[in-house]
Amino acid sequence: MSEEGRPASHAPLATVKLETNRDVVAARQAVARFMKERNASALRVTRFATAVSEIARNAIVHGGGGEISIYLDATKTYLHIECRDSGPGIEDVTLALSEGYTTAGGLGRGLGGAKRLSHDFEIRPAPGKGTIVSMGVKL
């Protein structure tokens, strides 16, 4: 992940607990609100909010829940999210990111799609302990 995509060393703008589908909507709306407040284009807002939805849904479905924290980087040019869960982790990140790969019978566009919709993307799996997904978007 590029340095400009890293969050500033301050408290998050918001943190959303991920337990139900309603929480996925809340995370998406929070990201969209912060981006709109910083005059991001409608297309960029839609793309990144979609990526956040995918990651949040994965945390609930595969990770048993978790949380998303939203940050603004030190230069205020990137919005950054970090999604954490305490599920089984991702054993093969390369496979999980490949087009068409699915573990839940979906279209197989979740992680790979989220990566394509972000400017910065990183997965830090800890098999048996959970997963941290970090994503950033230039505002």
pLDDT in tens, the chain (139 residues): 444 445 555 789 999 999 999 999 999 999 999 999 999 999 999 999 999 999 999 999 989 999 999 999 988 899 999 999 999 888 777 777 766 655 654 433 578 889 999 999 999 988 788 999 999 999 9
Give the Å distances, CA to CA, from 119 to 78, 91, 113: 9, 24, 12
List the end-to-end C-alpha distance of the chain, in Å, as a whole number. Answer: 16
**pTM score, whole prediction:** 0.85
